[in-house]
Amino acid sequence: MLQATSLTARYPESETVSLTLPGFQLKAGAWQLLCGGNGSGKSTLLLALAGAFTRHLGGTLTGELSVEGLSLQGTAWDRWLTQITLLPQENRHHLSGARETVAEELAFPLENRGWPRAAMQRRIADLLDDFALHRLAHRDPTTLSGGEQQRVALAATLALRPRYLLLDEPLASLDPASQRSVLALLEALHRDGTTLLTATVDVADFATRCAASTWLHHGALQRHGPSRDMVSDPRLAALGVVPPRMTWLAQRAALPAPWPLTLDEAVVAFRKPTGTAASPHDAPALALPPALASPTPTEVRLASVTFAYNDGPPVLRDLTATLAAGRITALIGANGAGKSTLARTLNGLLRPQRGTVALNGRPIAHRPTHQLAAQVGILFQAPLDQLFNPTVEAEVAFAPRQLGFSAAQRHERMVAALAVTGLAAQAHVHPYDLSAVEQRWVALASILAQGASVLVLDEPARGMDFLHRQRLVALLRALRDAGHTLLLISHDMSFVGELADRVLHLVDGQLEFDGPAEDFFPHAPPDLQPPVTQLAKRLGFPPFVREREFLHHLTPDPSDA
C-alpha cells in the first residue's frame, strides 16, 4: 500500500500551503483515478508520493509517506525508486537529455540499475514493440513531436517495471490511436499487478477503468468514492473537471440519472423518451477589447510546400492549402504527421526547401522572422520554449516593445491580453512559477499583444480543465469573429468539432483532406469523429458536429416549425 497521513505540501519561496490531506491510500494492485481542476493539487500530490517534491523541487512536506511499510523519510532514495515511478505532466521532463537516440534513452534507466546487456537488449526490444517505437529507435528524442516524446517518456518510465506507477495526464499529447494503445498497455500492466494512480482533468478514458476516484479541489480532498458515481456528479464541471462527453450530453438533455459514461450506454439512454426539454449549453460569449479586435485580414496560402530536416526524408510533401481570414482551420493528424513542422513554416521559423508560403499573396521566403512576427503569432506545444522574461507582465509587453508600439499602446495591449486570458492577478509573477496551463495562457497573451492577425495554436487546450477550456473556446470564437486567421492543431476531436470551420487532415506529411468540418467529421474514422457525431449517427440523427446542434435537435424551436 502507498499511504500518506496528515500530509501538507508547500512550494519553495511560497507562503501558501498547496496541499492539505488528512489521509490518502492507494491499495496494492488498484488502479485509482485522481481528478480535479487545474490548481487542485493533483500534480503536487503525485510529486509528493514519488518523493520528488522535496528532493527535486526543494518543497516542504509535513506528515508521513510510506509504501509497502517503507517510510520516505527513512528509506534510501534508490530503494524508494524501485517501488514508485512518476511520469510527469511535461513529458520532456522525463527525458534524460543525456542520450542521442530513443533506444539509448530506453536503455538509460536500465544502465543505471546495472542490468546485464542481454537482458537490457531484450527489455528495450519489448518496449519498442509495446509503444510502436521501432521506426523512431535511432532518432534523437529532442527532434520528436510532442506525442512521440510522450510515448518515449512512458516507455522509459516502464523500463524498470515499477510496482507503483504514477501518471500525470498520460494521454495529453497523444493522437487517438496512440491513446488506445497506451490505455491497452496500462490495462495489461494492471492485470499483471502494477498499481496505478492516474491524475487528469479529463476523466472519460479512465472512468470505466478505475474502480475508485479521489477528487481534489483547491489542495484539499473534495470527495472519494466509486468512479462511476464520482464522474457523473453534476458539480464536476463547475469545479473544473472535464466530464465524459456522454455524461455531459445526457445531463444537458435532462435525462434522468444514472447518466451514461460510454457511447453504448448513451445510445440506450437517449432512445428512452423523457418528456423534458434539453438545455443547450455553450461557452459564454467574450467581447474582445478594442486593442485586440481590429486585425488586418490576412489570407495564408501554401503552395507545393516540401520540407525536410537536415538530410532526412520529407516531413511535408507538396502541400497546398489556404487559411482564410475570419475562419478557424483545424489541422489534425497522427503524432509525427508534420503538424508542428507545418506551423513553423508559417512565420519563417522553418523555411521550405520547395514551394512557397504567402501572406495576402506576398511570399515570406526572404522576409526576416521579426517582420513576420507582426503578422503571424505561434503558440508552441511546449510554452516554456517561448517564455523568458522575469514576470508575466514583462513577457506580454515584450513583443509589442520589439515591434515598435508606443508606451501607451504597449500598456493597452498588455492589459487587454491579460484580461482576456484571465492573467491580470498573475501580472507580477514569474512565468516559471505558474502551472503548465497558466504558462500556456501567458504564451497566448503574448502573441495576442503583438497584434498578429494570423494565430497558429499548437495544442492550446492541452491539460486545461473544463473552466479553462470554456474560456479558450469563447476567446477563439471572438478572435475568429473579429477577423483573425486561426490554425488550430489538436488531437481532441470534441474540442476541434466545437470550433473548426475547416479541417486539414495531414497524413505522413501529405494532405488527405481539405474542406469544411461538416464534410469531414461525419465520414471520418470513429477515432477522428467528435463523440457527439458518433452518438448522433448511432441514434439515426443527422451527423451533428457541434454539441449545441445535437441538443437543439432534441428540443426543436417552435418557430422552426
Q: Which pLDDT score is estimated for 92?
A: 64
Give the tens place of pLDDT for each residue, 249-283. Answer: 999 999 999 999 999 999 999 998 665 666 666 66
CB-CB contact of 200 with 206 (8 Å): yes
Q: Burial, 138: exposed, middle or buried (Cβ in 10 Å; 0-12, 13-18, 19+)?
A: exposed
pLDDT of res. 310: 86
What is the rounded distance in angstroms from the CA atom of residue 449 to the CA atom of residue 291? 8
Q: In what order do the strands lie in the sheet with 314-323?
A: 314-323, 300-308, 354-359, 362-363
The answer to whether the CB of 246 falls within 8 A of the CB of 531 is yes
Q: What angle do CA 367, 371, 375 make, to 5 degrees?
A: 110
Greatest Cα pair distance in the chain: 75
- Domains, the chain, in order of start with CATH, read 2-243 (3.40.50.300), 290-527 (3.40.50.300)
Compute how many other C-beta atoms are within 10 angstroms of the C-beta atom of residue 495. Answer: 23
pTM for this structure?
Answer: 0.91
Res 561: pLDDT:
45
pLDDT surpasses 80 at 326: yes
pLDDT for 341-375, tens place per residue?
A: 999 999 999 999 999 999 999 999 989 888 898 99
pLDDT score of 94? 73
- Over residues 463-502, the pLDDT tens digits come to 999 999 999 999 999 999 999 999 999 999 999 999 999 9
Per DSSP (E only), the strands in 324-419 are: 327-332, 354-359, 362-363, 376-379
Query: pLDDT tens-digit profile of 296-312?
Result: 899 999 999 999 998 78
Integer CA distances (angstroms), 298 to 325, 397, 422, 432, 447, in order: 5, 23, 27, 33, 16
Give me the pLDDT at residue 480, please: 97
Backbone dihedral region for residue 348 (phi beyond 0: left; psi -120 to 50: alpha; all else: beta): left
Residue 14 has pLDDT above 70, yes or no: yes
Cα-flanking dihedrals φ and ψ of residue 449, to 5°? -65, -25
Question: Distance between CA atoms of 413 and 403, rounded to whole angstroms?
Answer: 12
Q: How many CB atoms lie within 10 A of CB 114?
A: 7
Collapsed DSSP state (helix, strand, coil) of residue 193:
coil
Q: In percent, how much of the chain has pLDDT > 70?
A: 96
Each residue's pLDDT tens digit, 402-419: 999 999 999 999 999 999
- pLDDT digit string (tens) for 428-449? 999 998 989 999 999 999 999 9
pLDDT at 379 over 80: yes
**Minimal CA–CA distance to 172: which of 546, 460, 499?**
460
419 contact partners, CB below 8 Å, separation of at least 6: 289
pLDDT for res 149: 87
User: Beta-carbon neighbour count of residue 142 at 10 Å?
Assistant: 10
Query: Cα–chain-centroid distance for residue 8?
Result: 28
d(CA 80, CA 50): 8
From CA 96, how far away is CA 111, in angstroms rounded? 13
The answer to whether 244 and 261 have CB atoms below 8 angstroms apart is yes
State the chain's mean pLDDT as an integer: 92
- H-type alpha helices, 331-391: 339-345, 369-372
Which residue is associated with the grid cell 537536415? 310
Task: Report the b/e string of 40-52 with b at 16+ CB within 10 A.
Answer: bbbbbbbbbbbbb
Are 188 and 139 contacting, i.e. CB atoms less than 8 angstroms apart? no
The pLDDT, as a whole number, for residue 312 is 84
Q: How far apart are CA 434 and CA 194, in angstroms?
A: 32
Q: Which string of DSSP letters, residue by residue, matches 95-132?
A: S-SS-SSHHHHHHHHHHHTT--HHHHHHHHHHHHHHTT
What does the pLDDT look like over 17-30, one tens digit per residue? Answer: 999 999 999 999 99
Three-state secondary-structure class, residue 353: coil
Q: Is 114 left (phi over 0), alpha (psi -120 to 50) or beta?
A: left
Q: 73-82, 139-148, 237-246, 326-335: which has the highest mean pLDDT?
A: 326-335
pLDDT for position 143 = 85
pLDDT, average across residues 96-114: 90
Res 338: pLDDT: 94
Rounded CA gap, 448 and 453, in Å?
A: 9
C-alpha 355, offset from chain centre: 31
